[in-house]
Structure 1
C-alpha cells in the first residue's frame, strides 16, 4: 500500500477536489475496504500537509496497462498493472449504483461500510442497470450521473472527496426535507456510510456518498435569471416563487431540527467574523477605506437589534444552487455549506437571514454579468427581482422575515465585503459589483 500512497501523492494535487494546492501531500492510510475483488478498493487517506489534516476518499481500481482513461490513471503497479481512479470504472459504478438504490447489500468483504436505500415507493422501482457518467466541472466532490438502461428514474450520486465524522449536512438536511414531503429538494435515493479509526484512536462514522433524483435537461436559477434579465423579461413571479421555496426550506428545517435563542457568545462569533472579514478587505481593497465607518455603523445597528432564533440553514445559498424544473418548480441543492468553513461550524444552528442575504447578493451579480449598455434597465430588473423574492419569502414565512431589517442588511453587506476580497484576488474586472453594492448598503439618507 505504500507504493500506492506514493502514487497518490503525485496524482492527488492535480485533481480539482484536492484542497491544499501548492503543497506536497503527506499521506497516510486511514481505511482500506476491498470492494468485491482485491483489485478494487475504497481508500480513506489523511493528508497532514493541511492544518488541520484533511481525510480524502479515493476509490481505486487495478487494471491492465492501456485499459483506463488517461485522466483516471494514477500510476503503474509493481506487478505490471496500473492503478486508476475507480469513478470511471464500470465495475465500481455498477456497485455504487446498486448500493445506493437497493441498499442492504454487502458492499465489502470487511466491516466498515453500510449502504442505505432511501428510495420512496412513489418513485417507482429502481432500474436494474444504469449507464454512469462522471459530471465534469465540480470543484470539491465527484458526482456520477446514472441514466437507466431503459425506463426508470435518473439518479445523481455525489461521492464526497473530503470526509468527516458525522453525517454530512448535504445528506442530513435534504434527506430530512424530502422525508417530510418537500418537493423543493430532489428525492433522496440512498447513501453510503463508512466507519474508521481516527488519528485520535476513536471510532468515527461519516458520509461517503449520497444519491438523489436527477433532473435531466434543466438549467440552474443563475442561467434562468441571466437569460431573463438579458431579454428584459419580467421575473417577478419566478423570483417570488423562489422566495417561497427558500422560506419553505427554513420553516421545514426549523421543524425538523432543534432551534435555540442566540446567546452572547453566538452574537460575538457573528460580529467578530464581520470585523475580521472587514479588516482583511480594507488591507486588500483600498477603495473600501473611505467606507469603513459607514460599514461598521451598519454592523453596530445589527448587533443592537433583537435576533431571531438560530436554526439549521443551507449555508451557501445562491442562484447556482437552485434548479428550475418543470415538475417541481424551484429545487434547492448542495446543502454542504461553504467549502472553506470547517465542517464543525457548518452543522451549527445559524441565522436564516444568512441564506436570504446570499440570494439577494446573487441577484445583484446578474446585473454585473450582463454586457448591456442600458445599465439602468438591468438595475431596475434586479431591484424588482430582489423585492419579489423578499415578498415571496415573507408570505411563506408567516408574514415577515425574521431579522429582515438591520440584521439582513448586515449579512448582505458582509457578503459584499467578502465578494470584494474575492474579486480583488481572482477577477479584478468584477470588483465594481460588490463595491457598488457596499456603497448602496451603507448609504445614509
Structure 2
C-alpha cells in the first residue's frame, strides 16, 4: 500500500486551505456535526491520507479534521477574559472528480477553484458506490496505509464485490451496508483511545456471547508517532490510536426493538413476552462482560462521587430548562438517598456495561432471538467516562425509560402497557442474573432519575415537542412514586 500515503504537511495544508470555504458551508448541514449554531474558527488537518494513486481518475481522501471554535467570553471569570473552546476532531471521506455524474449530485460539497486539486469537484465519498467498495477492500486486506491501520478477524470471510449502500437514518455516525451481509459504522467524531463499540464486542465475541454481532474488521489511525504532517487530537499523547470504523454482520431480517414495540402498542397487543426476553438478553450480555473484563467494588467514596455527579447534572439541567426546576428538590432526594446508603456501608459491584441501552439499540430476529448493538455509549460523554465500570442497573434504567417513551409515542399515554413491560423486563433479567433489579430500589431510582434528567436536557435542546415525556417521568420520580405516573 505504498502508492498512496499520508501526505506531507505542506500538501495537506494547501489542500485543506482550498477545501476550507467548502467545508465551512457543508459541515453545519451534517446530522453528525456537533457544532450546529456555533461559529467555526480554524480548520486544522490532523491527518490527510490519499487512498487512491495520484493518477487515478478520481481521488479518495481520508481526512481527520479538527474544527476549532473562536474565543468566547468566559462565564465564570472576569467579563474581559476569554476562553477557547476545544476543537472536535471529525472523520471525513471526500471524493474528488473533474465532473460529478448526475446520480452523485446529492453528494456534492463544492468545486475547488485553487490549490493542488484546483478544478476538481469535491463530494461525500461514502455516497459513491465505487469509493465505498474500495473502503471494504481495504478492510478485507489487513495492513497499513499511511497512518491508517486496517485489521480483521481472520476467521470471518468477507466476500469481495458486495454492493454498498448508505443507511438513510443518520445519527452521530455514518453507516454503510454491504450486500445486506455486513454493516460498516464510521465514527464521525473521533477521540484518542479504543472506542467501546469495538472494544466490548471483541471481548464478547471471545466469550462466545451470541447476543452481540462480532466485529469482522475495523480500522484505526495511529497518530502522534512522528508521521509527517500529522498531529494528534487535543490531549493526544505520543503513539495515540483513534478508532475510525467497525465492520459487523448486518442482521438484515431483524427488526428494531423500538419499531416492534410501537407496532405492537399500536395494535393494542401486549409486549411483555418480548420485554421479558429482552431482559434475559441484557442479563446474558452483562454476565459475559463481567467474565471478560474486571469488576470493581463501589464503596463509600465512590458512591458519594457518583451521587454528587448526578446532583451536579441535575443542577445544570435545571438551570438550562426552567420546566424542570419545580421537580429538582424532589429529584435530588434520589441522589441523597444513594449517598446515604453508601455512607452506611452499602457497596455495589460495577463492571463494563452497554452505556446507552434502549429499545432502538436492540434487534429481534424472526426466530425471536434478541441482539444488542451500538456499544459506543452516550457520544456526548468523554470516552474515558464511557469506558468506566458502572452498576449494571444503569443499562436497566435506560431500558425502563425506553418503555416509558414508547408508551407515550402512540396515541394516548398507556401507563399499564409501560408498567407491564417494565415488570416483565426486570423479571426476565432476574431469570438469568438471579436478582431482580427492583430489589435495589434506591440504586435503580437514582439511575432512572439521572437518565430522565439527561433526557430533559436533550429534548429541550433538540426535540422540544418530546419534552413532556421526560418531564412526566421527572414528576413521578420527584415524588418517589410507583413505576409509572398517573398521566
Shared fold, TM over 0.5: yes
In the alignment, which residue of structure 1 is the partner of 2:47? 31
- Identify which of 391, 414, 434 aligns with 2:427: 391
Runs of 5+ unmatched residues, structure 1: 148-152
In the alignment, which residue of structure 1 is the partner of 2:93? 59
- Counting only pairs closer than 5 Å after superposition, residues 92-131 of structure 1 correspond to structure 2 as 92-100=131-139, 102-105=140-143, 108=145, 110=146, 112-118=147-153, 120-121=155-156, 125-131=157-163
Q: Does structure 1 residue 337 correspond to structure 2 residue 352? A: no
Indicate conservation of the 8 Å contact 2:40/2:68, yes or no: no
Aligned equivalents of 1:444, 1:345: Cα separation in 2: 28
Shift of 1:175: 1.9
Shift of 1:91: 3.5
Q: Does structure 1 residue 3 correspond to structure 2 residue 23? A: no
- Counting only pairs closer than 5 Å after superposition, residues 11-410 of structure 1 correspond to structure 2 as 11-22=26-37, 23-38=39-54, 39-49=59-69, 51-67=85-101, 69-77=104-112, 78=114, 79-100=118-139, 102-105=140-143, 108=145, 110=146, 112-118=147-153, 120-121=155-156, 125-147=157-179, 154-197=181-224, 198=232, 202-286=238-322, 288-305=324-341, 306-326=346-366, 329-372=369-412, 375=413, 378-401=414-437, 404-410=440-446
Aligned equivalents of 1:164, 1:263: Cα separation in 2: 30
Number of equivalences:
429
Indicate conservation of the 8 Å contact 1:9/1:26, yes or no: no
Q: 1:390 to 1:98 in 2, by over 3 A?
A: same
Indicate conservation of the 8 Å contact 2:355/2:395, yes or no: yes
TM-score, normalised by the number of residues in structure 1 = 0.89
Indicate conservation of the 8 Å contact 1:353/1:404, yes or no: no
Aligned equivalents of 1:444, 1:363: Cα separation in 2: 18
Aligned equivalents of 1:201, 1:425: Cα separation in 2: 34
Q: Deviations over 1:109-164 (max 9, x none)?
A: x3x2221112645xxx43221111111221211111100xxxxx610001111112
Aligned equivalents of 1:352, 1:426: Cα separation in 2: 28
Higher mean C-alpha deviation, range 34-43 or range 393-402: 393-402
Q: Deviations over 1:78-118 (max 9, x none)?
A: 43221222212233212221233x23255x3x3x2221112
Q: 1:104 to 1:387 in 2, by over 3 A?
A: same
TM-score, normalised by the number of residues in structure 2 = 0.82
Higher mean C-alpha deviation, range 72-81 or range 207-216: 72-81
